Amino acid sequence: MPIGANRYGKGEVRLVKVVRTPGRHELRDLTVHVSLEGEFEAAHTVGDNTDLLATDTMRNTVYALGKTTLDGSIEAFGRALVDHFVEAGPSVTGARVRIEEHPWARLGSHEHAFQRGSGGTRVCSVDGDTVTSGIEDLLVLKTTGSGWEGYLHEQYTSLPETDDRILCTVVTASWEWGSEPADYDAAFEAARAAILDTFGDHYSPSVQYTLLRLGEAVLEAVPEIARVHFALPNRHHLLFDLGRFGLENDHEIFHATTEPYGLIEGTVERSPVSQNSNGRLVTTA
């Protein structure tokens, strides 16, 4: 029987690059995933590996090109890898590369010492000519300014309504480009800053409401972004019952849970006409 759509590649290639300048080092820490598609039927049907790149070769290529081409954005590095794999493999018709960049922060004034940074993991995917960028594992929390009221109550509803709760989520956001930015690094920083600034600047009657505000902020901050998708797990913080111990709990002591959790997802995008008569972005979720 014929083989259907298929890919193969190398996952979780861990690349650390130290950029050595006089008296000061910079650190790049990446996880790279490579996936190739092409004319691979013979390998499946008759065991003929003649034109197949070994996945070990893919790993080596990541390190070699890391030496020669990783001097800018992860998007540019991803493009270099995709171009190389399509050209190098005689049976390869397409390549997809996903890169995660793990943040490190310098330890004070030390020139060669670092601690693992916080603030999310930068990611990108390059699939042919299509580039998507984003951020993952961005943990944010606000201790007030959020509620959950007016929702449907039925026979299995037990959650009490509230106009004052902790809102905590781990932001996963990915954005598609309408046009290529002049500087991927600056665009990422602007999008990330928009998410962080907006998360705390409004009352959140729902995570859905906040999702749309975050998307609008990203689109306004980076004009080249066409649409942005968010996945926002609601990491619940539940008031702990201290009454049984004769103690009051005025929104001070919470039980933090990681599962199960609510998961809210949505895409915010520009309308075909990107501005209305008032000059404001028109978005849909």
Which residues are annotated as catalytic? 10, 55, 236
Q: DSSP letter string over 141-156?
A: EESSSB-B-S----TT
Inter-residue contact 131 to 124 (CB < 8 Å): yes
* 136: amino acid identity, one letter: E
C-alpha span between 18 and 232 (Å, rounded):
34
* 28: amino acid identity, one letter: R
Inter-residue contact 168 to 235 (CB < 8 Å): yes
C-alpha span between 214 and 230 (Å, rounded):
9
Q: Are strands 8-21 and 24-38 parallel, antiparallel or unpaired?
A: antiparallel
Biggest CA–CA distance in the chain, Å, is 76
C-alpha distance from residue 62 to each of 6, 83, 236 (Å):
22, 12, 40
Q: How many CA atoms lie within 13 A of 260 on its CB side?
A: 2
Q: How many CA atoms lie within 13 A of 123 on its CB side?
A: 18
